[in-house]
Amino acid sequence: MSFTAFHLYFDDVEVGQRWESLSRTLTEADIVNFAGLSGDFNPIHIDHEFARSTPFRRPIAHGLLVFSVGSGLGLYAPPMRTLAIMTIKEWHFREPVFVGDTIHVRSEVLAKEVRGRGRRGAITWQRQILNQDNKVVQEGVTETLVEGRGPARVDAAVAEENRTQEQG
């Protein structure tokens, strides 16, 4: 998928702005597939009998599965021209997520820093992943690199002419 006119540039957001994502319900298939993909077959996630012996009394979703789904949900809250996740500055796992829980993401811009003469910028985000009861299940601070509008592009012919003059 390519960026569209719908996607925001670094320049389009301001510190303090907030967004809420759409929601997604986690299924047992999500948990089993994530176990297979990651190799994390901890019985707390996939063994119903074992899980009954834990304080949760049933299997819980992998914390990194919830983080990953939250990352996907946050992709459109807001829809940014994100080039990379640069840092997970801090992340907290607050509550378990169970099969059938529905999660969504709340995002807030904490800080912005221009990079690459405005062609890019770093955005620091406060992200919260909430369940269907609006309880925060995970939260933290992340930093992303986002495409900026940058200075007006110099016409290729003018740039070539300047290069020729410098060499001559």
Total number of domains in the chain: 1
Q: Is residue 3 in some structural domain?
A: no
Please report, for the domain that includes residue 30, its CATH number: 3.10.129.10
Q: Is residue 113 in some structural domain?
A: yes
Q: Is residue 2 in some structural domain?
A: no
Could you read off the pLDDT of 55-106 as tens digits, one per residue? 999 999 999 999 999 999 999 999 999 999 999 999 999 999 999 999 999 9
Domain residue limits at 136:
10-167
* C-alpha span between 90 and 130 (Å, rounded): 17
Q: Is residue 19 in some structural domain?
A: yes
Specify the pTM: 0.86
* C-alpha span between 59 and 42 (Å, rounded): 10
Q: What would the two tokens of residue 129 be?
A: 């992943």
